[in-house]
Structure formats: structure tokens, C-alpha cells
Structure 1
Amino acid sequence: MTTYGTSYVTTGTAQQGTRPHAATRPVRWAADVVTAMREGARLRLDYSAQSLWRVDRMIEELRREGTPKPAVEGVLRGFGAYAGEVIARQTGAEWWATGGDHWVRTPDGRLWDPIDEARRCFAGQGSLRLLCRDATAPTSAGG
């Protein structure tokens, strides 16, 4: 199985990350987007993999409407953090941070960049649902 998009990051920078401070900001961004979607769009996000279908559709709708990327950067960051939290809750993954960037490290050692994947989704080249599918899928032996 191939990893979707370029949001898979090699583990070379993993030792630079810190925990638990690495999780503070993305967990907050995810919670903020859950609240904003519930109150503003009447969209309930429950941290399930299935909810990422709705998130992908929301991002696609923003793109189709021609919303300027700078106007939605905070929302995209929140959607990406939300996807990272879905992965973390399903796999026991942890948030890692270095140089202002945040990744999710799954127990098998792989690093994923759901925040960048949300930006790719807005550009029409990514999917948070597929990123989650790949991140939560068991890895094959040797590879």
C-alpha cells in the first residue's frame, strides 16, 4: 500500500521532537475546529475516521467557492490537527514538533503530516480520510 500524497515524513527528525508539549497546540487547534464546525456549520465531528469524509468535503467546498488560501489557513490547520488527533486516538500515536512544524508519530515509527495534508486537500491534491486510512493500516513485514 502506498502512502497518500507527500505528507508521510521519514523518521529522521523524530528524535528532535518533544512530548507532551508537542501535543498542546495541535490538540487545541483540533478542539477549536470541532467547536467552530458545530457552532458555525452545524457539523458534528466526533474524532472518528468516518468524520474525515465530512472534513474532506468541507475543504473541497471551500476550494470550490474560491476562498483565498490565506483566509482559510487557520481552518486548514485546525482540520489537519483534527485528522492528526483521529490518528492519535486510533493508533496511540503521539504528536511531535520541531521548528514550528507538527507531525503525528504512529507506534510503528512513521511520521505523518496531517496539517500539510489539509493544505494539499485544499489544493485538490490530498485527502485527510486517505491519510488516516494509510496511517492506521497495519504495516507489512519488511516494508
Structure 2
Amino acid sequence: MGGADERVPDASGMRAYAAAFVARATARNRLPLDYSVASLRLVDFLVDGLRKGGADRERAREPLFALGAYVGEVLVRRAGAVWVDLDAAQRACFGQPVGVRMPDGRVWNPLGKVRNRFEVGGPDESLQTFWLRLHGRTRREAA
């Protein structure tokens, strides 16, 4: 996936999209994007870097989408979420074509959360804090 990819994947393509982003990012920069909850702090740092580096909304569109896909995939792998295609009302509300559904049925918008971090910034938009406040996670018991 080199260059600008104008095609936005549907829910069935989000896992592969996130994996391709991680492969590119870790190959070039050796970033610790390991789908851990702790790695969400790095996503905060990367989004802040785009904003502070002066990227405009259009230039930041693809990296923000990729980071949002990564955040969603962390929710899939660590919280029991599944990628879902949003219906028309959800698209209008979230401004995104896909989201994640938590085990309790709630739908969350990691792509929009990353965009908000870029546009608004600040601790209220932290992706690490988003995880901590996230309702509907499965509780994984120690075996």
C-alpha cells in the first residue's frame, strides 16, 4: 500500500489495512506498534506530531485513517470488539464508514477518535484515556 490509497476499506478489510500500516511503520521506523494497550500512548504521540508538524487536514487524512484502523484493531484484539460497517445513521453521526462493536453491543468510532485527537488535541482526546474510559470491554480472566 504505497502512496495515497483512495479506497477506504469496509469492515472486512480493516484488519488487513491495520496490519499493512503496522508492517510499513515498523519496518521504516521500528515503532513499537504491537497492538498493546500501552501502544495507544504512542498513537497519541504520533497524532500530536502530525498536528505540531503543521500537517493540514488533507495531508493528514491517510495517516490518521491508518492510525484509527490501528486503534480499532487494538480494540478488536484486546477488548473483544469486532469491525462493523456502519449504517446510514451511524455514518452521519460518526462521519466514518466503519467502527467497532463491543461485546456489550455498543458501537465505538476509533477512526473519529484519532481525527479528534488531531483536530482538538489535549488530554480529553487521548487514545490511551479512550481505552481507560471504554465501556463494553470483555474482562479477560487470568487462567
TM (norm. structure 2) is: 0.73
Q: Which structure 1 residue ranges, 4+ long, deviate > 6 Å from structure 2?
A: none
Q: Would you say the 8 A contact 2:104–2:136 is kept in 1?
A: no
Q: What is the total number of aligned residue pairs between the two structures?
A: 119
2:35 alignment partner, SS class = coil
1:56-102 CA deviation, whole Å, 9 max, x = no partner?
10110110010112112111111111111111111211111135611
Structure 1 residue 22 displacement after superposition: 5.0
1:96 alignment partner, SS class = strand
1:9-28 CA deviation, whole Å, 9 max, x = no partner?
xxxxxxxxxxxx95322212
1:83-129 CA deviation, whole Å, 9 max, x = no partner?
11111111211111135611111111111000011100111342222
More displaced 10-residue stretch of structure 1: 50-59 or 90-99: 90-99
Gaps of 5+ in 2: 1-8, 89-95, 139-143
Structure 1 residue 52 displacement after superposition: 0.6
Matching residue's letter, 1:23:
A
Matching residue's letter, 1:76:
L
- Residues 1:39 and 2:27 are matched in the alignment: yes
1:82 alignment partner, SS class = helix
TM (norm. structure 1) is: 0.73
Q: Identical aligned pairs, as a percentage?
A: 34
Q: Would you say the 8 A contact 1:87–1:136 is kept in 2?
A: no
CA distance, structure 1, for counterparts of residue 59 and residue 21 of structure 2: 15
1:127 equivalent in structure 2: 126
Gaps of 5+ in 1: 1-20
Q: CA RMSD in A?
A: 2.2
- Residues 1:76 and 2:64 are matched in the alignment: yes
Matching residue's letter, 2:128:
R
Q: Would you say the 8 A contact 1:90–1:136 is kept in 2?
A: no
- Residues 1:111 and 2:107 are matched in the alignment: yes
CA distance, structure 2, for counterparts of residue 133 and residue 78 of structure 1: 21
Structure 1 residue 138 displacement after superposition: 5.9
CA distance, structure 2, for counterparts of residue 41 and residue 127 of structure 1: 22
CA distance, structure 2, for counterparts of residue 32 and residue 88 of structure 1: 16
Matching residue's letter, 1:71:
R
Q: Which structure carries more relative contact order (alpha carbon 8 Å, separation 6+)? A: 1
Structure 1 residue 42 displacement after superposition: 2.5
